[in-house]
Amino acid sequence: MSEKLHIAVLMGGWSAERPVSLMSGEGVAEALESLGHKVTRIDMDRDVAAKLAAAKPDVVFNALHGTPGEDGTVQGMLDLMGLKYTHSGLVTSVIAIDKQLTKQSLVPQGIPMPGGHIVSTASLYERDPLPRPYVLKPVNEGSSVGVAIVTAEGNYGNPISAEAKGPWQEFDELLAEPFIRGRELTTAVLGDRALLVTELKPKSGFYDFDAKYTDGLTEHVCPAEIPDEIAEACKQIALDAHRLLGCKGASRSDFRWDDDLGVEGLFLLEVNTQPGMTPLSLVPEQAKKLGMSYPELVQAIVDEALEADAG
């Protein structure tokens, strides 16, 4: 694409994922500048609408992670301002950030996801919501923020102690799901194409926030060394979820796979509508393996934003 644009890159914000967003945003901004575009970097604060109005960009690259950049709030503001923007729109963002709403949207369409239900934090101090081992996670945070695996021999107490460090200290409600043993897999979707499957092998513990964003803490095996049947199932489920939710640009679907059960042991955990674009991030890594440079990936996401608006 030869047309040079003025692109505002929205980054930062005040969610728990602010540091990641700043890395994503700077990477995107540098890539866009390398392609000859004019870039305005905007670290989002409460004056973001005024900053965007003053900048008058042709399109906004949304490099925010977590709320309010990933939950429909910023999307609604951009819609009201009449600005074109990358990634998913308001309705898709509202659904996909909420793990329970995502299940309600996808499971009836045949997408395999773990069971489970929302529990009040107070109830955890009286009894377990599910047989151990189980997983507790915030309903609407990403990047493995505040995830806890509660095991029989774990150090959270039995029942869970209010003094034990965990997501129950930060959230009034949590999603409780059965723990699925096995392997962590992820698949990126760009536009109408599923890319590859990456297996994530944390050096210790599980794939939490630190493991995701600290160089050397997690090994990425890309493409994953898994049977073709599982790789194809991951790609098809990721593509189906992307389409069913109405995602735009890039999304990333995260899976657990119990390798003792074959394809029956594959479960979608969540769909990320604002996947990371840092040097360690999975979408750029998969695109690179397929011969797409980082700037080409960024440009493809911008192009889809412009096409979606025109359509």
Give φ, ψ of 263 to 5 degrees: -65, -25
Name the CATH code of domain 117-178 (choices 3.30.1490, 3.40.50, 3.40.630, 1.10.3470): 3.30.1490
Query: Catalytic site residues?
Result: 17, 143, 213, 252, 254, 270, 272, 276
Q: What is the pLDDT of residue 216?
A: 58
**Two tokens, residue 180:** 């699925």
Q: What is the pLDDT of residue 153?
A: 86
Residue keyed to tokens 């969610």? 15
Ranges for all domains in the chain classified under CATH 3.30.1490: 117-178
pTM: 0.90
In this structure, the strands spanning 183-190 and 193-202 are antiparallel
CB 213, CB 184: distance < 8 Å:
no
Q: What is the pLDDT of residue 308?
A: 64
According to CATH, the superfamily of the domain at 96-112+181-292 is ATP-grasp fold, B domain (3.30.470.20)
Helix, strand, coil share (%) of the chain residues, nearest 5: 35, 25, 40
Ranges for all domains in the chain classified under CATH 3.30.470.20: 96-112+181-292
Fold of 6-87+299-310: Rossmann fold (3.40.50)
Give the containing element (helix H, strand E) for 125: none
Q: How do the pLDDT tens digits run along the chain, 311 residues long?
A: 458 999 999 999 998 889 999 999 999 999 999 999 999 999 999 999 999 999 999 999 999 998 899 999 999 999 999 999 999 999 999 999 998 999 999 999 999 999 989 999 999 999 999 999 999 998 876 544 578 999 988 889 989 999 999 999 989 999 999 999 999 999 999 999 999 999 998 776 554 444 444 555 678 999 999 999 999 999 999 999 999 999 999 999 999 999 999 999 999 999 999 999 987 799 999 999 999 999 999 999 999 999 865 43
**Which of helix, strand or coil describes residue 40?**
strand
Beta strands in 192-265 (DSSP E): 193-202, 218-221, 250-257
Q: What is the pLDDT of residue 193?
A: 97
